[in-house]
Amino acid sequence: MEKLQGKWLVAVSSGPDSMALLQMCIDAGIDCAVAHVNYHHRPEADEEENYIRSFCVKKGIPIFVHNEPFTYTGNFEAAARDLRYRFFVEIVRYEGFQGVLIGHHQDDLLETYIMQESKNIVPEYYGLREEMLMHGVLFKRPLLHVAKEELVRYCKEHQLHYYIDATNLSDEYTRNQIRHQIVEPMTSFERNAYLREIKQRNAVLQERRCRVKTYIRQGKIRLETYRTLPQDDRVTMLRMFVEETPHYSLKHLQGIDHTIMHAGDFMIPLDEFSLVSDGTYLLKYIPEEPYCYVFDSLEELRDVCKEHFYTEKGSPSVFALTLEETDFPIRIRSFHAGDKIQMRFGRKEVHRFFIDRHIPQYQRQTWPVVENAAGEIILVPGLGCNVQHYSTMPNLNVIQY
pLDDT of residue 254: 94
Mean pLDDT (the chain, rounded): 94
Q: Contact, 10 vs 21, CB < 8 A?
A: yes
Provide the residue ranges of all domains of the chain, joining segments of one domain with +: 8-190, 215-285, 292-400
Residues 114-127 pLDDT 10s? 999 988 777 889 99
Cα separation of 331 and 293, whole Å? 6
Q: Which residues contact 32 (CB under 8 A, 6 or more apart)?
A: 7, 8, 9, 10, 22, 25, 26, 61, 101
Confidence at residue 1, expressed as pLDDT on a 0 to 100 scale: 84
What is residue 284's three-state secondary structure?
strand
Q: Is the pLDDT of residue 178 over 70?
A: yes
Rounded average pLDDT over 327-349? 94
CATH number listed for the domain at residues 215-285: 3.30.465
Task: Give the rounded percent of residues in the chain with a pLDDT score beyond 70.
Answer: 100
- 234 within 8 A of 226, measured Cβ to Cβ: yes
Nearest of 343, 322, 323, 324 to residue 393 by alpha carbon: 322
Tell whether the model's pLDDT for residue 232 goes beyond 70.
Answer: yes
Comparing CA positions, the residue from 58, 51, 57, 59 lying closest to residue 27 is 59
Taking residues 161-180, report their average pLDDT.
85
Q: Using one digit for the tens of pLDDT, what is the confidence trace for 258-301?
A: 999 999 999 999 988 999 999 999 999 999 999 999 999 999 99
- How do residues 41-50 score in pLDDT, each as one tens digit? 888 999 999 9
Answer whether residue 245 shows pLDDT above 70. Answer: no
pLDDT value at residue 75: 85
pTM above threshold 0.75:
no
Mean pLDDT of 312-330: 96
In this prediction, residue 165 has a pLDDT band, given cuts at 50, 70 and 90, of confident
Q: Given CATH 3.40.50.620, say whether it is the number of domain 8-190.
A: yes
Cα–Cα distance measured from residue 216 to residue 237, given in angstroms and rounded to the nearest whole number? 8
Percent of the chain scored above 90 by pLDDT? 85
pLDDT for residue 385 is more than 70: yes
Distance of CA 5 to the CA centre of its chain: 34
pLDDT value at residue 246: 62
pLDDT for 168 beyond 80: no
